[in-house]
Structure 1
Amino acid sequence: MEDTKVTRIAAVADIHVREIDKGKWTDYFKEVSTKADVLLICGDLTDTGDEDEATILAEELRACTIPVVCVLGNHDYEKGRQKLIRQTIQSQNVHVLDGEAITIGNVGFAGIKGFGGGFDNHMLTMFGENAMKAFVQEAVDEALHLERALSKLEADPFVEHKIAVLHYAPIKATVVGEPEAIYPFLGSSRLVEPLIRKGVTACFHGHAHAGTLEGDINGSIKVYNVAKPILVKAGYQCPYYLYELPV
């Protein structure tokens, strides 16, 4: 009997590359390249949102011989240099998505940063001060960006599987382990509807360093919190999660 062919997706988040990290990630990216077909980096690519950190990461990523799909995280926005960080890291092999999509083989990847706002019956609503409305509107806008990116994949006849790449969590289950008081700042259930409506196979995110590795939406869409601290705590020697999709 022939072995079932799969697309192997390696995923990690919150790598927080610093200026002193030159040479630190080369072996990591070489290792991932031997075990996977695609690498996802789900936000917080840099530690303080500095372009010099992005330059170090771009240099380290040259050791990666497989396609890389990234989104930015809140740390990458810290100094308002997110556009420069994206330009620095993006290359022919490294795709930094922000409301966009890319198809690799028969797998489509839609990427956004996402935002907070809380989960389920405890979601913040568009009511009250303008500052609160602006906070909620950011989550609404990110959900719309995700919807648009997934719609592009829906129109691609070659796409058999859709994968969502986020930084913020779409469900509460994968932030459990963090203090409940900060749940509203770790993600938003507003991100769930596009995932369901567009038939996403799986979703990967980070941000919640003390959260939970696995969860699901309605028992059908797998959600993985691949924040590096979670993978390290779970005993991954080379911290990345390997997910296999049938070709």
Structure 2
Amino acid sequence: MRRADRLFQIVQHLRGGRLVTARMLSERLEVSERTIYRDIADLQSSGVPIDGEAGVGYLMREGFELPPMMFNRDEIVALVAGARMVRAFGGATMARAAEEALMKIRSVLPEQDRHRIARTEIYTPDWVISDAERLIIDELEKAVEKRDVLRVSYRDEGGQNSQREIRPLGLWFWGKVWTLVAWCELRSDFRAFRLDRIATMEHAGRSFRPEPGKQLADFYRMFELQGACARPPNHEAPCERTRAVA
């Protein structure tokens, strides 16, 4: 958790009107009590009206409010719907982050706008993505960010398994399935792997550097030249207009 996020969370916990100890905050935020003491001292020095002392507890004086965050009706609906969709279709980490983001937005909205969140009647099912697939989404998102080479066992449309070493470049969600766009070392070409056909996945123990012709921007250029797909791929080719899988 970033320090700015931790300071925000401390303020939210102290706004409840009850005495909160440093130990309680350290357990909730998963940091040491010494870190909490430093954070509270910094908040106090910046003008946040926190009363209390170490060993006793802290509370926020009444009347303190964070500057209101202004959203119009359509923006609130979009944020709530987006967070619920991520919670339904994203990875486990994404789902938690979406819920926390919505909580932050709710806490700083003006009172007259908070009811709009509860009154947004847009819902998504929570059974579409399996727990196993949620974990894969999280792992792949991290691998994309860190540029980790992955070793996967992949089952194609015909049920044939193959072992691949791939460079993960980006995740695509098609409304029903997720695919991973990657540079495939076996095929020496871009491929889009359906996540529900990845049997096993592990880190190859090395990372990769961007190379001309093997980056996501190169894939997009190729994709645009060949024409956009109207539906997700049936196998690991990026779309049905790409050349056949070798």
Fold in common (TM above 0.5): no
Q: TM-score, normalised by structure 2?
A: 0.22
Structure 1 or 2, whichever has the larger Rg, is: 2
**Structure (1 or 2) with the greater helix fraction:** 2
For CA contacts below 8 A with separation 6 or more, give which structure has more relative contact order: 1
